[in-house]
């Protein structure tokens, strides 16, 4: 679709929904900040376990899928394209599969939320992020389904709002991946 | 009965029902109803505590029940009574005051309310499920860990507060967006009524503070249900982390509860002094300063923990600093009254009572910010006295001022001024009789949260006075309740603008129609209704 058909993109300073989503993301940031700070406060105590058990390279590959999904989301929002949206969902799902298999391996090795301080902080932080990715996937799926029906009835702001949330989930993972995984390398 | 429609003036024959309403006024009334109901429940719990403490070595309740009662009393009053009351008034009044037809997200607004209510119900369900939480409203770790609180009470506390908090956060997003984007033409942010300003600042505080509580609750849940070690010293965790996270929420929460009440009296005092507020920009700006500082004072709740002299000194200084913008407001209100033609209605009595009682609570707060004083009286009845002067003497008196002021707008009928005076003076006497002696009790060493004390301590007489005060306070609340019920049924008809007021909510009918205004108003000043009534003497700003 051309820019003329798409019309102007909604602005944060004018659109209620978009401003609401931005404020919601701001409060979510405080939530994650608190969880990340708890992780950092206990990092020293769990560092040996983290170094012994985390597979940085493997997780880095799955992380690339999530980071790439921000790119596909941006394409989807600017072109209002169901295909790009589907690509975003697939990449997000790949990331979750990576996280799920990593959880399974760690639990098999006896590292769980109750095993020691590392497990407690690791599963809480990455688990809460994972739940947010899942919520994002639900939002993407809702948008995808609505778009399949009467695409013109989908308000422009829905694309922007879902995109904002998805970028936020991605940005949180940049922080989590750096603190948890890259943190084992130093 | 009455032909006057309550709460919203709907077209004849149109019924929506409380369960599915998305009208901001009806949701506001639902919030207020929830607040009133939980205020009554929390009040009964308080009476139970005071009855037990009236005499030394009393056996009215066992220690376990006492612990549950003071825990649930605190949580109820703060999160299930005061916050819903304030959010309820904001819900009803903010769209009217800024000339909007509703809030930004009406359906989300309903979700906020129902989440808040369900959170409260979950907390109270703990009584049926084997015992309420008994770890105090701030539920310190490691006491709240499974090893020391093996029942399910704390789990219901976690779940209830998290759900309630989600509702409050969503409500704050809604109010913030409403105020930022839905003001009527001419209603610049520098012209909105001060209650709206306070609501905006409070929303920002909620959005910054509540997520920290949610995070702490999640961590405690992981500890209790998944065997985690966040706050478990035996597993390498630190109990003090809970305190940091809780008070990072808990102190801004104090301002979340007091700023809207300050907004209410900032509406009441000018109208009943027949003058514009003195120093509008200072009242608004000092609230922003309070909000900013309130995120940097949390550790003054933790002086006795042993953080170190440097940390204590810093938090002591920031805590004292916050008295400055608070003091600015006190001067603004007094300067508004000076030279005014005062009309001492019940609303005005409560507003003036707020100033007097809040100054006492503020001064004992500054005293507690001094580390050596805090170390001497921490966890004693001095702290109980202080917080009740702020939250009852301050916030609750402010809410009563708002209730007498806005009840006619919401119902079309005036509250009785005669009963109102009884309500005020009984409250004023009962409140001071209850809480003033607690300063002395704390100073001579009576700890808070003890279920009894020995006769040899000599604390008996002051405790008895305090309990008598609580009984008077209870009578005052009954008078208020009678006033509410009687005025709803047969109160004097109010008309649109019974107080000859200044702001837009009084320009529409009482109660307002579903979309609030026949036409979206346009304004040119801070007192739009005054301007309309006195075109020859318009406000310049």
3-state secondary structure of B440: helix
Separation CA B37–CA B223 (nearest Å): 33
Select A13-184's CATH number: 3.40.640.10, 1.20.120.80, 2.60.40.1930, 3.30.420.40. Answer: 1.20.120.80
B75 to chain A nearest CA, in Å? Answer: 21
Residues forming beta bridges with residue B493, ordered by sequence position: B413
> Inter-chain contact A20–B210, Cβ cutoff 8 Å?
no
> Inter-chain contact A128–B218, Cβ cutoff 8 Å?
yes
Q: Does A131 touch chain B (CB under 8 A)?
A: no
Q: Does B238 touch chain A (CB under 8 A)?
A: yes
Token couple for B65: 């029940």
Separation CA B231–CA B114 (nearest Å): 31
- Give B-chain residues touching A31 at CB under 8 angstroms: 211-212, 214-215
> Inter-chain contact A124–B208, Cβ cutoff 8 Å?
no
pLDDT digit string (tens) for chain B, length 541 residues: 345 677 888 877 777 788 889 999 999 999 999 999 999 999 999 999 999 999 999 999 999 999 999 999 999 999 999 999 999 999 999 999 999 999 999 999 999 999 999 999 999 999 999 899 999 999 999 999 999 999 999 999 999 999 999 999 999 999 999 999 999 999 999 999 999 999 999 999 999 999 999 999 999 999 999 999 999 999 999 999 999 999 999 999 999 999 999 999 999 999 999 999 999 999 999 999 999 999 999 999 999 999 999 999 999 999 999 999 999 999 999 999 999 999 999 999 999 999 999 999 999 999 999 999 999 999 999 999 999 999 999 999 999 999 999 999 999 999 999 999 999 999 999 999 999 999 999 999 999 999 999 999 999 999 999 999 999 999 999 999 999 999 999 999 999 999 999 999 999 999 999 999 999 999 999 999 999 999 988 887 6
The pLDDT score that the predictor gives to residue B9 is 83
Residue B4 in any domain: the answer is no
The pLDDT score that the predictor gives to residue B4 is 62
Instruction: Name the residue among A20, A34, A124 with its Cβ closest to that of B222.
Output: A124
HSE at residue B61, side-chain half, CA atoms within 13 A, is 20
In three state form, how does the secondary structure of B62-73 look?
Answer: CHHHHHHHHHHH
Instruction: Name the residue among B210, B215, B227 with its Cβ closest to that of A113.
Output: B227
Q: Are B423 and B484 in contact (CB under 8 A)?
A: no
Instruction: Name the residue among B173, B208, B229 with its Cβ closest to that of A24.
Output: B173
Q: Are B359 and B328 in contact (CB under 8 A)?
A: no
- Give B-chain residues touching A128 at CB under 8 angstroms: 218
Based on the structure, what is the number of domains in chain B?
1
Residues 100-119 in B contacting A (C-alpha not used; CB under 8 Å): 104-105, 108
- Give B-chain residues touching A43 at CB under 8 angstroms: none
The DSSP letter of residue B8 is S
Q: Are B318 and B297 in contact (CB under 8 A)?
A: yes
Closest residue in B to A44 (Cα) is B236
Separation CA B131–CA B467 (nearest Å): 26
Q: Which residues of B522-538 are buried (b: 16+ CB within 10 A; e: fewer)?
A: ebebbbbbbbeeeeeee
* Percent of chain A whose predicted confidence (pLDDT) is above 90: 88
A33 to chain B nearest CA, in Å? Answer: 8
The pLDDT score that the predictor gives to residue A149 is 85
The pLDDT score that the predictor gives to residue A9 is 81
Separation CA B343–CA B340 (nearest Å): 9
Q: Does A116 touch chain B (CB under 8 A)?
A: yes
The pLDDT score that the predictor gives to residue B6 is 79
Q: Does A8 touch chain B (CB under 8 A)?
A: no
Counted residue by residue, chain B has a size of 541
The DSSP letter of residue B151 is S
* CATH code, domain carrying B237: 1.20.210.10
Residue B87 in any domain: the answer is yes
Instruction: Name the residue among B169, B212, B237 with its Cβ closest to that of A117.
Output: B237
Global confidence as pTM? 0.96
Q: Does B207 touch chain A (CB under 8 A)?
A: yes
B208 to chain A nearest CA, in Å? Answer: 6
Q: Is the dihedral of CA B105, A133, B250, B452 positive or negative?
A: positive
Q: Does A23 touch chain B (CB under 8 A)?
A: yes
- Give B-chain residues touching A114 at CB under 8 angstroms: 226-229
- Give A-chain residues touching B248 at CB under 8 angstroms: 34
Q: Does A103 touch chain B (CB under 8 A)?
A: no
Question: What are the residue ranges in chain A where pLDDT is below 70?
Answer: 1-7
The pLDDT score that the predictor gives to residue A4 is 43
Separation CA B182–CA B175 (nearest Å): 10
CB pairs under 8 A between A and B: 92
The residue range of the domain holding B400 is: 24-530
- Give A-chain residues touching B212 at CB under 8 angstroms: 30-31, 34
> Inter-chain contact B235–A128, Cβ cutoff 8 Å?
no
Q: Does A36 touch chain B (CB under 8 A)?
A: no
- Give A-chain residues touching B295 at CB under 8 angstroms: none
Residues 65-84 in A contacting B (C-alpha not used; CB under 8 Å): none
The pLDDT score that the predictor gives to residue B378 is 96
Instruction: Name the residue among A19, A31, A120 with its Cβ closest to that of B229.
Output: A120
- The domain ranges of chain A are 13-184
A151 to chain B nearest CA, in Å? Answer: 23
């Amino acid at each position: 679709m051309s820019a003329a058909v798409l019309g102007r993109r909604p602005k944060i300073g004018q659109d209620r929904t978009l401003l609401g989503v931005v404020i919601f993301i701001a409060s979510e940031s405080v939530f994650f900040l608190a969880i990340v700070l708890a992780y950092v406060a206990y990092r020293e105590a769990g560092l040996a376990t983290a170094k012994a058990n985390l597979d940085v390279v493997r997780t880095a590959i799955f992380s690339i899928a999530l980071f790439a999904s921000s790119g596909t989301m941006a394409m989807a929002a600017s072109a209002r394209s169901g295909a790009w949206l589907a690509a975003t969902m697939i990449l997000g799902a790949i990331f979750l599969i990576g996280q799920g298999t990593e959880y399974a391996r760690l639990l098999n090795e006896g590292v769980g939320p109750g095993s020691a301080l590392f497990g407690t902080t690791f599963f809480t932080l990455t688990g809460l992020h994972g739940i947010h990715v899942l919520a994002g996937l639900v939002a993407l799926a809702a948008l995808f389904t609505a778009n399949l029906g009467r695409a013109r009835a989908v308000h422009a702001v829905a694309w922007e709002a879902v995109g904002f949330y998805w970028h936020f989930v991605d940005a949180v993972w940049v922080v989590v991946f750096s603190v948890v995984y890259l943190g084992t390398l130093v | 009965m009455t032909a006057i429609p309550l709460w919203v003036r709907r077209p004849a024959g149109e019924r929506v029902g409380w369960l599915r309403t998305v009208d901001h006024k009806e949701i506001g009334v639902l919030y207020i109803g929830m607040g009133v109901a939980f205020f009554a429940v929390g009040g009964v719990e308080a009476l139970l505590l005071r009855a037990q403490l009236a005499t030394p070595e009393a056996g009215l309740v066992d220690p376990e029940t006492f612990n549950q009662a003071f825990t649930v009393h605190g949580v109820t009053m703060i999160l299930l009574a005061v916050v819903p009351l304030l959010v309820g008034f904001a819900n009803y009044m903010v769209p009217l005051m800024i000339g909007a037809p509703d809030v930004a997200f009406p359906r989300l607004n309903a979700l906020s309310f129902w989440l808040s209510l369900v959170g409260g119900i979950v907390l109270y369900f703990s009584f049926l499920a084997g015992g309420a939480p008994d770890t105090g409203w701030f539920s310190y770790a490691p006491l709240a860990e499974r090893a020391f609180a093996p029942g399910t009470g704390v789990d219901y506390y976690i779940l209830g507060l998290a759900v309630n908090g989600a509702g409050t956060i969503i409500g704050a997003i809604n109010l913030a967006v409403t105020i930022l984007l839905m003001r009527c033409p001419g209603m610049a942010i520098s012209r909105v009524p001060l209650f709206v300003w306070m609501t905006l600042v409070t929303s920002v505080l909620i959005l910054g503070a509540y997520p920290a509580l949610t995070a702490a609750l999640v961590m405690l849940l992981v500890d209790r249900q998944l065997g985690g070690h966040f706050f478990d010293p035996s597993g390498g965790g630190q109990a003090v982390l809970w305190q940091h996270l809780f008070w990072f929420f808990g102190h801004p929460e104090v301002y979340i509860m007091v700023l809207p009440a300050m907004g209410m009296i900032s509406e009441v005092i000018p109208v009943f002094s027949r003058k514009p507020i003195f120093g509008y920009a200072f009242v608004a700006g000092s609230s922003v300063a309070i909000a900013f500082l309130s995120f940097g004072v949390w550790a003054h709740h933790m002086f006795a923990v042993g953080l170190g002299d440097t940390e204590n000194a810093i938090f002591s200084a920031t805590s004292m600093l916050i008295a400055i913008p608070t003091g600015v407001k006190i001067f603004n209100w007094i300067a508004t009254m000076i030279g005014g033609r005062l009309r001492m209605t019940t609303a005005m009595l409560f507003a003036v009572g707020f100033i007097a009682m809040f100054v006492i609570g503020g001064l004992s707060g500054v005293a507690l910010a001094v580390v050596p004083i805090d170390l001497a009286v921490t966890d004693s009845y001095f702290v109980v006295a202080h917080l009740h002067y702020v939250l009852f003497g301050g916030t609750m008196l402010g809410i009563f001022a708002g209730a007498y002021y806005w009840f006619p707008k919401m119902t079309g009928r005036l509250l009785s001024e005669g009963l109102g005076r009884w309500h005020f003076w009984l409250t004023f006497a009962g409140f001071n009789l209850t809480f003033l002696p607690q300063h002395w009790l704390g100073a001579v060493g009576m700890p808070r949260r003890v279920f009894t004390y020995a006769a040899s301590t000599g604390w008996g007489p002051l405790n008895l006075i305090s309990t008598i005060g609580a009984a008077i306070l209870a009578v005052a609340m009954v008078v208020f309740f009678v006033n509410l019920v009687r005025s709803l049924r047969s109160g004097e008809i109010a008309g649109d603008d019974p107080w000859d007021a200044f702001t837009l909510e009084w320009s529409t009918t009482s109660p307002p129609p579903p979309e609030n205004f026949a036409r979206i108003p346009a304004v040119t000043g801070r007192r739009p209704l005054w301007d309309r009534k006195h075109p020859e003497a318009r406000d310049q700003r």
